[in-house]
């Protein structure tokens, strides 16, 4: 049954009216013949589910909804197009890997390739392109929220890594893992999933390829970081092992990729100091990777919203790197400072503005400064992108 047929004559509730909710409303009005379309932005205890045949839930709404009347854009898209979808998930690296794969495929194959999902483009926005072109391929970034409750998996899946994240949403690491696992749980024989070493054994009937981590530099990338070398390895494996493309040509295209904003993005050199924006960093390992990736690192600005994740790994790294100064801001910055027993290479600051004032006291020409918070932005900024843009704006203003 197509998506359009599924909604024919049905009463439909769109639960959540953000980017996906608005996209769903547009899709239903343009393509479907639903008998009724309502919008609801309230909480679960106010939801009148019995009044509707189908409820399209936005990914930001927490909770498990096994009733078949509950669905989502992700599930609807996969029900119709899973055979032509490459899904990518993981705690970190999703957007870079998705974008890199999209660029490589766009430059190498004659099929139409669309970029959708958590990267900011609701998948049903490309319904017409996918349904009118039977050869079109979707490269789809899939967050844990989008994967939660789905009962369909993509034909080709990538599961990069798994670390503590979103515990404020799921409560436990096990529930977070369960949501992520849906990218492969409903695969069938003939499907393939490419999995990183940090991911526990998956529940899947697809063919599983384990991608080992490696220390040496394998690709001549335009983007910094050993973690991006691993992201590139996933892209190569998907292109060569799943899509049967020429390996040398794939590597050539990978090495042309120039990266995404807020992911170890070089802002510029001001008064001899290099500044990098790594605002996408929301977990400890991301901050550690950023510091390891910048050869002349002197100062890291850390801290943000406290979601209850553990910072032991980052604290251990701070203690082992006395030459790096960590400017600890906001709730998690203060927490890290205290849990690390106020080490001499940590300085408490109120926010990014104060951090940049302190930078001028310690950084010298030839040094590098990175914003790599290891924490979410909520409560201080709308999202990681706004945080990164604010940081960049302050740096560029100081250069004038």
Per-residue pLDDT, 245: 98
Whether 260 maps to a domain, the answer reads no
The pLDDT of residue 126? 97
- Please give the sequence-ordered ranges of beta strands (E in DSSP) within the chain, or none if there are none: 11-15, 36-40, 54-57, 70-71, 85-89, 113-117, 137-141, 156-159, 192-196, 207-211, 265-270, 273-277, 297-302, 325-328, 346-348, 368-371
Q: Say whether pLDDT at 400 is over 80.
A: no
- The reply to whether 179 and 243 lie within a common domain is yes
Task: Give the pairing of strands 156-159 and 85-89.
Answer: parallel
The reply to whether 67 and 87 lie within a common domain is: no
342 Cβ neighbours under 8 A, 6+ residues apart? none
95-114 per-position pLDDT tens digit: 999 999 999 999 999 999 99
The boundaries of the domain holding residue 221 are 74-254
What value does the CA radius of gyration of the chain take, rounded to a whole number of Å?
22
CATH number at residue 344: 3.90.190.20
Checking if the pLDDT of 306 tops 90, the result is yes
Alpha carbon distance 200, 65 (integer Å) = 25
Of 266, 317, 306, 260, the C-alpha closest to 282 is: 306
Q: Return d(Cα 174, Cα 309) in angstroms, integer.
A: 13
In this structure, is residue 259 part of a structural domain? no
Please indicate, yes or no, whether residues 329 and 303 belong to a single structural domain of this protein. yes
Taking only the tens place, the pLDDT of each residue in 326-353 is 999 999 999 999 999 999 999 999 999 9
CB 349 within 8 A of CB 358: yes
How large a percentage of the chain has pLDDT more than 70?
100
The answer on 91 and 67 residing in a single domain is no
Give the mean pLDDT of the chain. 96
Residue 217: CATH number of its domain: 3.40.1190.10
In this predicted model, what pLDDT tens digit does every residue of 26-71 receive, in sequence order? 999 999 999 999 999 999 999 999 999 999 999 989 888 989 999 9
Residues 104 and 240 placed together within one structural domain of the fold: yes
The per-residue pLDDT for range 171-203, each reduced to its tens digit, is 899 999 999 999 999 999 999 999 999 999 999
**pLDDT tens profile 236-261:** 999 999 999 999 999 999 999 999 99
Q: State the pLDDT at residue 171.
A: 85
- Domain identity same for 214 and 305: no
**Quick check: 314 and 374 in contact, CB under 8 A?**
yes
**Based on the domain organization, do 284 and 373 belong to the same domain?**
yes
Asked whether residue 139 falls in the same domain as residue 230, the answer is yes
Same structural domain, 48 and 180: no
Q: Round to whole Å and give the CA distance between 400 and 8.
A: 59
Residue 336 contacts residue 366 (beta carbons within 8 Å):
no
317 in any annotated domain: yes
Q: Count up the domains in the chain and report the number.
A: 3
CA distance 201 to 210: 10
The tens digit of pLDDT for each residue in 68-98 reads 999 999 999 999 999 999 999 999 999 999 9
């Amino acid at each position: 049954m197509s998506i359009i047929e599924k909604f024919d004559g049905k009463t439909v509730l769109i639960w959540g009216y953000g980017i996906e909710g608005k996209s769903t409303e547009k899709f239903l009005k343009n393509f479907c013949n639903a008998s009724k379309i309502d919008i609801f932005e309230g909480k679960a205890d106010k939801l009148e589910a019995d009044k509707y045949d189908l409820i399209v839930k936005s990914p930001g709404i927490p909770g498990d909804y096994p009733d078949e009347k509950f669905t989502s854009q992700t599930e609807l898209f996969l029900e119709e197009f899973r055979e032509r979808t490459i899904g990518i998930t993981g705690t970190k690296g999703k957007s870079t890997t998705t974008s890199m794969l999209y660029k490589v495929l766009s430059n190498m194959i004659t099929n139409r390739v669309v970029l959708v999902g958590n990267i900011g483009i609701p998948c049903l926005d490309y319904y017409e392109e996918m349904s009118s072109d039977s050869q079109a391929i979707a490269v789809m970034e899939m967050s844990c929220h989008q994967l939660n409750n789905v009962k369909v998996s993509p034909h080709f899946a990538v599961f990069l890594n798994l670390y503590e994240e979103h515990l404020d949403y799921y409560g436990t690491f096990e529930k977070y893992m369960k949501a992520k696992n849906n990218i492969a749980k409903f695969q069938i024989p003939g499907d393939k999933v490419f999995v990183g070493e940090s991911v526990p054994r998956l529940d899947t009937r697809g063919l599983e390829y384990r991608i080992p981590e490696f220390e040496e530099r394998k690709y001549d990338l335009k983007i910094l970081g050993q973690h991006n070398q691993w992201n590139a390895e996933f892209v190569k494996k998907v292109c060569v092992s799943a899509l049967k493309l020429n390996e040398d040509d794939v590597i050539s295209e990978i090495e042309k990729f120039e990266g995404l904003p807020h992911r170890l993005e070089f802002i510029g050199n001001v008064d001899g100091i290099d500044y990098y924006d790594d605002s996408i960093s929301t977990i400890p390992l991301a901050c550690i990777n950023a510091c390891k990736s910048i050869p002349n690192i002197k100062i890291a600005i850390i801290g943000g919203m406290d979601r209850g994740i553990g910072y032991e790994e980052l604290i251990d790294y701070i203690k082992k790197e006395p030459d790096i100064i960590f400017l600890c801001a906001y709730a998690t910055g203060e927490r890290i400072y205290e849990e690390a027993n106020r080490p001499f290479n940590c300085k408490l600051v109120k926010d990014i503005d104060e951090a940049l004032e302190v930078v001028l006291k310690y950084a010298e020409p030839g040094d590098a400064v990175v914003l790599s918070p290891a924490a979410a932005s909520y409560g201080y900024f709308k999202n990681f992108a706004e945080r990164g843009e604010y940081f960049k704006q302050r740096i560029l203003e100081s250069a004038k």
